[in-house]
Structure 1
């Protein structure tokens, strides 16, 4: 009967459950899910589903960001000067299709990820380890099928062997990223994905996997299997053949509900077990302490919130006249250092902390969480200063910007109250400086925002970076390198910054790397390429009949809402 109720909800695409069944998790979120294909997963919304349906070779132990333990692997060994890693795989593991996991599936997974490496996914850092470059075979003509084939192999004993281009201290951590979850070779090929052979490998170079066939029909080894998806609802159910034992939660239903008030109402009534909130201040005011609500606070925050300023905006709809005539901005508006500094001084960081973080936020000096080595709290940081903002805007374009004014359109994630509030703070303070300054805010679906930003279309982008692997390089290289993942979104280029980042990569000594990162942070302050937003301790809230969530079980490297995989939860 309960399953019939869930299926009715899925079919209706709208009405809430009267009360969530004991064996079912119901999640309301304002965002759409870009993909359910691990190879295309590179956002936390997608990752939260991928890591519950699929599994990686290794994973983080409990709440640690440093200690790794086996998952689909049982053990591993490094050899050849740490350039070769050999993995034993777990026996008897079943895919949701019923097929048994083999080494060939793992080999296929990593070769597929290398092939499809592009700015749309996180496969660049895997390619960097195995091929010595972040580029794919279209961008780097030295990449051949033979190089890809030799990078990942199965030996005669059925072990998985990685052959790295050079030693990489972060390689094991990279394998824990949910985008490196293992997929079934034969199943994927039957769907029409890459065959796994040389014959069609070139057809898949740089392929965008966001809307892949595998995304529409996922098939992993995880505790939950895909049942159905429509425009607003995704349904999963417990996999009876799961090697780790059947979980206590039998079904997961995730519904897209764009309006925050509707999500809050459903949560307080018990119609939803988890919801996407509206930021700390809103959630504390509306939800904390209410009947049926559990709250866990002061959890580690290893994300890096920021606002990217695109130095080459390609969407003409966002820049109007493309001139400094008060009706638009040039496409390279943010390439002007005085404009960037003006925006950085115009943001009211204290207001942001009060409005979104209940006064519990902290301004960082770097786009790196404090728990990582390399963080330097002595570096200067921008503070809210209308006088300083006006001073830099007056210097921009030799005074023309201040005299004529500008109009800039900014897209933000539809349904995200915190994103809207963030940009409203910026808009209000910018427009207060000069009556000729105008900012228009426009909601946009998350998947569209991500897709357009990777093509340099967005003018500004609110980006909270969740680490792919627990190392400062994954933050700082990603944000600032001219060939970093976010470079296509910000079009930021700085030769000095590239030198510092590469110097840091050339040593495995954390102390030496920290010195380079300190210089990098000072350079970032001087050039203001990205606005660094305050960060606060994390918190989770959920219906109090859910068991398994606590400060000791919360994993900061997990994308799943609540910080705990669904297989580890139960309900009273």
Structure 2
């Protein structure tokens, strides 16, 4: 239940006509999904990233709604690039201050980036920085080849106002990486005082790879320079941001932002209609209803996003009962159920892509059968696509596990995050079609909190689940690597590996020639399609929904989360 008493006292809802602005200084954003952590070294999802980017800041920031152009934020200007594209020298803005009034220094910048690298949290964002700076795709681990010395050499503070980044190789998207919330800057002194890493070699191993959600900043944010500060966090219910009156730029127009986790969509819509919510996350099927509400504005924006079904080839059964009997005996599944490519292809052929796009998404999406989405280098609409074909699915399932799967059947739990009705519908589609092939096939659609789905996915405990990937930055590498490289986000969770794909991804990101890169990504997509390690479903257009009294909202194709600083009511 939402803490209504707190909400009413904090917001003091006015009983005025719907056309009038309620609470001009407070913006209420209702969404679904809780917050696993507020630590930039641990957070790697939209819900926490949204909070972080409003309290902390980065050296560079996207320019308006342009996903691939950046402007200086905490940096004084664009970097000086030398050494064949491997050295970036960044001057720090002299007037930037933390919310406690203390000056930002180069030491704070170096500490923030180094801490993310050295923490290397499983399922965290460290790989975004590790790859260009250290030339590897491996997380840093105690006793490994890469440790403190390499990190200290890669990120160096020079005096109080200069930071030097020494890349392992040229990486064209490096500025874009520095503009993500996962490269946010915060106070070294505050982090050390909170009991985190000292910033020296002596104790970095103590803070390496902490369990997800257990760092000093799991429930609070580090001291930042951003336009807001975290005033209150009601676990899994509300995040309350208060204007930072010590902000180094002009103060935010809003005095307060309240982000609420409201899983029931009808409740979100009623709040929007009454003016008790200013911004609302609304699933596609409800958009026609919302568009009819007076005073509500819906703006469509193409998103660099891919929604998919993931299939775990090495399920970790510890702590769950997802495997049932653990055998192909009609009462469960074995841990390596999806390691047979025929199972994966059978699932892909069982999905009705047109039904999802037409009936659930109301046409506001395109089917995506490869990893590079429209709008990125390497995208092609001539590559093969998975098709809904029950006869083909039957052939695959009959061939799976040498006929044992078809003979004995299975019970398979599949998962979506609470409140996401589109992903629920997608799983219900595959349930209906798979079960129609053989009465011994059972698919159990289950919902769990977003934080639990992410945590269990990171521990390889998931079986099959629906999830979306939004671009960290506008480059095909940010899709090819996390989806298909054996060290990427999803293959590490699902046990997928293809050495040829790994090599091609490495070659493509290091290639400057656009034509050659385009051909390499075509090869990568074709190999990935044939392996079917996951089932790409669709690339959506994203509906930004808010009351028409909300001004200054920016719809960025990469960042569907909100940046509240320019907003007003």
The two structures have a TM-score, normalised by structure 1, of: 0.93
Matches for 1:103-118 after TM superposition, within 5 Å: 103-118=106-121
2:523 equivalent among 506, 509, 519: 519
Matches for 1:98-497 after TM superposition, within 5 Å: 98-138=101-141, 141-156=144-159, 158-208=161-211, 210-218=213-221, 219-231=223-235, 232-277=237-282, 279-284=283-288, 286-297=289-300, 299-315=301-317, 317-497=321-501
Is the Cα–Cα contact under 8 Å of residues 130 and 165 in structure 1 kept in the other structure? yes
Is the Cα–Cα contact under 8 Å of residues 60 and 176 in structure 1 kept in the other structure? yes
2:217 counterpart SS class:
helix
2:6 equivalent among 5, 9, 14: 9
How many positions carry a matched residue from both structures?
Answer: 557
1:14, distance to aligned residue in structure 2 (A)? 13
Matched, 1:567 2:565: yes
Gaps of 5+ in 2: 17-21
CA distance in 2, matches of 1:541, 1:144: 45
Is the Cα–Cα contact under 8 Å of residues 313 and 331 in structure 1 kept in the other structure? yes
Is the Cα–Cα contact under 8 Å of residues 9 and 16 in structure 1 kept in the other structure? no
2:434 counterpart SS class:
helix
- The residue that corresponds to 1:83 in the other structure is 86
CA distance in 2, matches of 1:354, 1:97: 52
More deviation in 61-70 or 104-113? 61-70
1:103, distance to aligned residue in structure 2 (A)? 0.7
Residue by residue over 1:502-529, the C-alpha shift from the partner in whole angstroms, topping out at 9 and shown as x without a partner, is: 2323312121111111111111222211
Matched, 1:71 2:73: yes
CA distance in 2, matches of 1:130, 1:355: 45
- The residue that corresponds to 1:3 in the other structure is none
1:559, distance to aligned residue in structure 2 (A)? 4.2
Residue by residue over 1:22-72, the C-alpha shift from the partner in whole angstroms, topping out at 9 and shown as x without a partner, is: 111112222111121222220011111111111100111111122121110
1:318 counterpart SS class:
coil
- The residue that corresponds to 2:19 in the other structure is none
Is the Cα–Cα contact under 8 Å of residues 9 and 15 in structure 1 kept in the other structure? no
The two structures have a TM-score, normalised by structure 2, of: 0.94
2:321 counterpart SS class:
helix
- The residue that corresponds to 2:98 in the other structure is 95
2:330 counterpart SS class:
coil
Is the Cα–Cα contact under 8 Å of residues 106 and 163 in structure 2 kept in the other structure? yes
Gaps of 5+ in 1: 1-5
CA distance in 1, matches of 2:484, 2:292: 41
1:360, distance to aligned residue in structure 2 (A)? 3.1
CA distance in 2, matches of 1:140, 1:513: 35
Is the Cα–Cα contact under 8 Å of residues 111 and 199 in structure 2 kept in the other structure? yes
CA distance in 2, matches of 1:444, 1:338: 28
1:266 counterpart SS class:
helix
More deviation in 357-366 or 69-78? 357-366
1:138, distance to aligned residue in structure 2 (A)? 1.9
1:92, distance to aligned residue in structure 2 (A)? 1.9
CA distance in 1, matches of 2:65, 2:268: 28
1:8, distance to aligned residue in structure 2 (A)? 4.7
CA distance in 1, matches of 2:550, 2:12: 22
1:217, distance to aligned residue in structure 2 (A)? 2.9
CA distance in 2, matches of 1:536, 1:138: 37
Is the Cα–Cα contact under 8 Å of residues 106 and 159 in structure 2 kept in the other structure? no
1:143, distance to aligned residue in structure 2 (A)? 1.9
CA distance in 2, matches of 1:280, 1:365: 21
- The residue that corresponds to 2:559 in the other structure is 558
CA distance in 2, matches of 1:387, 1:304: 27
